[in-house]
Amino acid sequence: MTAGSVEGFSGPINVHDASLFAGKNDSTTLHMFGGTTSGFNESFRYFEVAPTTQYAVWSYDMRDDTWLAVDTSGAVDTIPSWGASTEVPDLGLAFFVGGQIDSGTADTTQNLGDETIGVGGMVVINTTTNNVKNLTVDESVRSNRQGAGMVYVANFGESGVLVLLGGETQADGLLAMDDITTFDVNSTDLSDSPSPNTNFWYSQKASGDIPSSRTDFCLVAAPAQDNSSTNIYLYGGTSESTIFDDIYVLSLPSFTWVKVFTGQDACWSVTCHFLAPRQMITVGGGGKSSNISHDCDWEQKSLAVLDLSTISWGSVFDANAGQYDVPDDVVAAIGGDPTGGATKTQPEAGWTDSALSRLFSIKTATTCSVPGTTSTAVSNPYDVSSDTDHGISGGAVAGIVIGAVAFVAIACGGIFFYSRSRRSAKDTEVRDELEKDGLPSYSSDSSQGTAELVGTHQAAELAAKQRVSSNTVPQEPVEKDAGTVIGPHPSARQTGIVEME
């Protein structure tokens, strides 16, 4: 793919529901894919109509503070939003599944009005070369889903696996959370003519305390010290009538769901970021109303920190945190102890596919070090050039990661993308506009069709978030004044949802 500037644009336009990727661990470039302007207040000072679909990827150089547009017209025909995404840092590969197109996708889709069209398939971006491939996905995967979650698990299989779950489609509505779909990264074939025995997806039923079906949640994955299990943490989200403040763990390879937290501050469209070995940072999100700027963050300063072992919310990132311990509730469900040794090592009802069983029997040793889990023995079938160790200290990398996380959150939330030097004099005015008008609100809309895509850390004090204890009356799920959505309809993500009670 070719990259360069676009006449009339110094960077991507202001969008929401896009995905940002950090690339390899030593990369100084961020990559943005997708997004839409649908639902934005067109009176905003910097509102712009989406350009053509020629540039689905934009790359941001953090050293030079410059954007480059990547011409993807040979790989994808449109620019989706609200899809599921994750990346494999060791291989420099980013993945985006599903999503939708709407009136804010591009100049050619403005005639859609309030309608949306689901998008199927999986887009793969090589963050080193900016090459983009669109892979056709079997219908059984239901890749034409919106609001789903996907996370990379490094320590199973030759090159790790992608775990896809949740979301909704037009045909099926909200998808059951016990239906877990897994992609074998080592099977990826990015050639123009993939062979039949590549790009493998598997479906597996989970057991345990199954979460309610939902969209707009976030996921992170943490491996046990002995790699006998990896625990995927699910936080928040929303359905047609409920906004959630809960945390569930999906433990692999047993595919067991365990509920580990219930709170009183419902949150949706939040992003989660894993900082090894045992912390999760959450950024942004919406609360009980459609006005995100009104009740967006319980912590008031946008960032919150969760200790994944003790399941306790705090106000400070701990750069010296100890090794990851499997939470007590999870140990009770899968056996072993906090350091690992899980005794439940397969799904309760057995494996759906024997090939999936073999995939999860391959355990690759991982090293949990900031900023993320890196594999010590992962094969690389993609001819991606090897990384160079620049000897950056853990503390320095932690500072870089936190800064990058904040940048990613701001960009994905729809805050304006132009360079700081051009905007510094107007920052206050722009923030006032955002406070007054709010940001686009959640849609429980499913698609009306499917289109296949051709430094030193400084502690920040926050108010601590509390688990619901036996002395606290749990808050009932937050209900909104709307009925179940059935069939094609205008997107509430564009028109706004009603105020929560």
Q: In angstroms, rounded to a whole number, what is the distance separating the alpha carbons of residues 429 and 431?
A: 5
187-207: pLDDT as tens digits: 999 998 899 889 999 999 999
Res 81 pLDDT > 70:
yes
Higher pLDDT among residues 200 and 400, named by residue: 200
User: How many helices (DSSP H) and strands (DSSP E) are in the chain?
Assistant: 7, 31
269-278: pLDDT as tens digits: 989 999 999 9
Peptide bond into 488 cis (omega under 30): no
Higher pLDDT among residues 179 and 475, named by residue: 179
Q: What pTM, to 2 d.p., does this model score?
A: 0.77
Angle at 124 between CA 119 and CA 129, to 5 degrees: 140
Report which residue type is found at 142: R
6-45: pLDDT as tens digits: 655 678 888 889 999 999 999 999 999 999 988 877 777 7
353 contacts: CB under 8 Å, gap ≥ 6: 202, 203, 204
Q: In angstroms, rounded to a whole number, what is the distance separating the alpha carbons of residues 433 and 296?
A: 16
Q: Which sign does the torsion angle of CA 373, 374, 379, 383 carry?
A: positive
Identify the weakest region by mean pLDDT among 102-116, 158-172, 262-276, 444-458.
444-458
449-500: pLDDT as tens digits: 444 454 333 333 334 454 444 333 333 333 322 222 222 333 434 334 322 3
5 contacts: CB under 8 Å, gap ≥ 6: 68, 69
**What share of the chain has pLDDT > 90, as a percent?**
52
**pLDDT of amino acid 11:** 81
Radius of gyration over every alpha carbon of the chain, rounded to an integer in angstroms: 21
Res 448 pLDDT > 80:
no
Identify the weakest region by mean pLDDT among 398-402, 405-409, 439-443.
439-443
User: Strand (E) positions, 256-365?
Assistant: 256-262, 271-275, 279-283, 303-307, 312-314
CATH number of the domain located at residue range(s) 3-454 in this protein: 2.120.10.80
**pLDDT of amino acid 19:** 95
Res 78 pLDDT > 70:
yes
Domain boundaries, the chain: 3-454
